[in-house]
């Protein structure tokens, strides 16, 4: 009996071997896609760009992420079809699972983001943590840009997103974030924007990328573009600001300014609804700053000066956030998730307000209290 059992094993193994191994993909048969670009195509379809790294073989030292890249294009009625059709132009199977960044053209968003978000989710290969960007123009330009030290633009895009930690002008947004916000309905989605800068010298040198600001959405539709100051206000209000730089004008003169580095920021949001159904939002901000440059004339750093600066900074920061509130009310985008906060705190009232929320939100009242503290002056008095 044991011999028969062994024979069965061997036969099974042979059967499996002879039927051929399916589902495996040797690395020699793959193109690894690093970033993806999405543009609107003809007849409501999409145009897909995939950035693939060239492999420099035959050398002793593999180059890792320093290889040159090439771009593949294809068109289709939806993302999946376009991705499949790209195989027609590619001599190898495309590996989508390593995609680091997706760049979407604004024109696609004008058609309605719902379709795209849904397709991204169903495209099983993309990682949850794939970064998303939006560009005003063609996404192919972004993919073709070459930053110094990273010829693969996916690396550049990732690095730029992480730069938001020090500038507070952008924030890494992943596919999962977008899908979560859109699906749960907790808040409106935002996508960081990216711009391609033309080379100053006008030559064919590498173009640079710049990541500043966000595109805000109202539900499914594109609401507007948030420039630098509004973005900073938004990130501060949402408690996602890690570090930034602030400046105050020098007293009296124009053109010179006092510079501060914002090292810590914490904001708390509390909402309440008054009897007539108007939400009021209170935001309290605590910020720590360091003085890093005081190039004004006749300025000595004294505690009174510091107190004065703190007051001015309070107003400056509050001003940034007010700009943001005005933007969000004007475009009716609930980026802070105020609706959901009301839901959590007053579930019964929320049931009544839920359906008209789009109209109720612009009537909300925002009030900001800022407490700044200047920590170090890095100067001897």
φ/ψ (deg, to 5) at 356: -100, 15
When the beta carbons of 128 and 369 are compared against another protein, the nearer one is: 128
The least distance separating another protein from the CB of residue 198, rounded to whole angstroms, comes to 29
Establish if 184 lies at the interface with another protein (CB under 8 A).
yes
SS (H, E, C) 250-300: CCCCCCCEEEEEEEEEEEEEEEEECCCCCEEEEEEEEEEEEEEEECCCCCC
Establish if 161 lies at the interface with another protein (CB under 8 A).
no
Transcribe 197-260 into DSSP letters: EPPTT-SSSPPEEE---EEEEETTEEEEEE-HHHHHHHHHHTT----EEEEEEPSS-SS-EEEE
Q: Kindly write out the interface string for residues 190-229 of this chain, putting x where it contacts another protein by CB under 8 A and - elsewhere.
A: ----------------------------------------
Establish if 16 lies at the interface with another protein (CB under 8 A).
yes
What's the CA gap between 214 and 95, in Å, rounded?
29
- Contact present, 53 and 69 (Cβ < 8 Å): yes
- What residues numbered 28-87 form the site for another protein, per CB under 8 A? 28, 30, 32, 34, 53, 55-58, 62-65, 67
Q: Which stretch binds another protein (CB under 8 A): 15-23, 199-207, 268-276, 352-360?
A: 15-23
- Contact present, 130 and 98 (Cβ < 8 Å): no
Give the tokens for residue 295: 């190039």
φ/ψ (deg, to 5) at 126: -65, 140
Establish if 353 lies at the interface with another protein (CB under 8 A).
no
- What residues numbered 259-298 form the site for another protein, per CB under 8 A? none
Q: Which residues pair with 244 in a beta bridge?
A: 262
When the beta carbons of 12 and 352 are compared against another protein, the nearer one is: 12
- What residues numbered 290-349 form the site for another protein, per CB under 8 A? 343-345, 347
When the beta carbons of 57 and 380 are compared against another protein, the nearer one is: 57
Helix (H) or strand (E) holding 368: strand 365-374
Residues binding another protein: what is the number (CB under 8 A)? 48
Q: Which residues contact 223 (CB under 8 A, 6 or more apart)?
A: 188, 216, 217, 331, 332, 333
The least distance separating another protein from the CB of residue 104, rounded to whole angstroms, comes to 20
Establish if 176 lies at the interface with another protein (CB under 8 A).
yes
Q: Which stretch binds another protein (CB under 8 A): 40-48, 122-130, 213-221, 282-290?
A: 122-130
| In the block, residue with structure tokens 């009716």 | 332
Which residues contact another protein (rule: CB under 8 A)?
2, 5, 12-13, 16-17, 21-28, 30, 32, 34, 53, 55-58, 62-65, 67, 95, 97-98, 100, 121, 125, 127-129, 154, 176, 179-180, 183-186, 343-345, 347
């Amino acid at each position: 009996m044991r011999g028969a059992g062994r024979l069965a094993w061997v036969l099974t193994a042979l059967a499996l071997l002879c039927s051929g191994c399916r589902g495996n993909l040797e690395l020699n048969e793959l193109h690894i896609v690093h970033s993806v670009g999405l543009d609107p195509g003809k007849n409501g379809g999409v145009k897909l760009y995939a950035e693939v790294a060239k492999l420099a073989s035959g050398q002793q030292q593999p180059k890792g992420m320093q290889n040159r890249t090439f771009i593949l294009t294809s068109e289709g009625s939806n993302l999946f079809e376009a991705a499949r059709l790209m195989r027609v132009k590619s001599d190898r199977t495309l590996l989508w699972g390593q995609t680091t960044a997706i760049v979407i053209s604004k024109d696609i968003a004008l058609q309605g983001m719902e379709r795209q978000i849904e397709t991204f989710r169903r495209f099983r290969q993309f990682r949850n943590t794939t970064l998303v960007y939006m560009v005003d123009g063609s996404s192919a330009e972004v993919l073709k840009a070459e930053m110094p030290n990273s010829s693969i633009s996916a690396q550049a895009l990732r690095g730029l997103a992480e730069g938001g930690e020090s500038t507070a002008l952008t924030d890494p947004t992943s596919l999962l974030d977008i899908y979560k916000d859109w699906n749960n309905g907790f808040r409106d989605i935002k996508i960081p924007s990216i711009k391609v800068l033309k080379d100053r010298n006008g030559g064919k040198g590498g173009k640079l990328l710049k990541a500043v600001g966000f595109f805000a959405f109202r539900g499914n539709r594109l609401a507007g573009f948030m420039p630098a100051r509004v973005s900073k206000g938004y990130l501060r209000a949402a408690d996602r600001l890690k570090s930034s730089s602030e400046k105050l004008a020098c007293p009296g003169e124009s053109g010179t300014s006092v510079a501060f580095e914002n090292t810590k920021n914490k904001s708390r949001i509390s909402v309440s609804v008054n009897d007539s159904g108007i939400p009021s939002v209170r935001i309290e901000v605590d910020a720590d700053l360091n003085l890093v440059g005081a190039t004004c004339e006749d300025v000595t750093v004294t505690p009174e000066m510091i107190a004065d600066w703190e007051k001015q900074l309070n107003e400056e920061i509050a001003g940034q956030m007010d700009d943001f509130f005005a933007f969000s009310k004007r475009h009716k985008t609930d980026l802070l998730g105020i609706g959901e906060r009301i839901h959590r705190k007053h579930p019964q009232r929320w049931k009544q307000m839920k359906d008209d929320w789009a109209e109720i939100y612009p009537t909300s009242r925002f009030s900001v209290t800022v407490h700044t503290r200047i920590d170090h002056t890095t100067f001897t008095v």
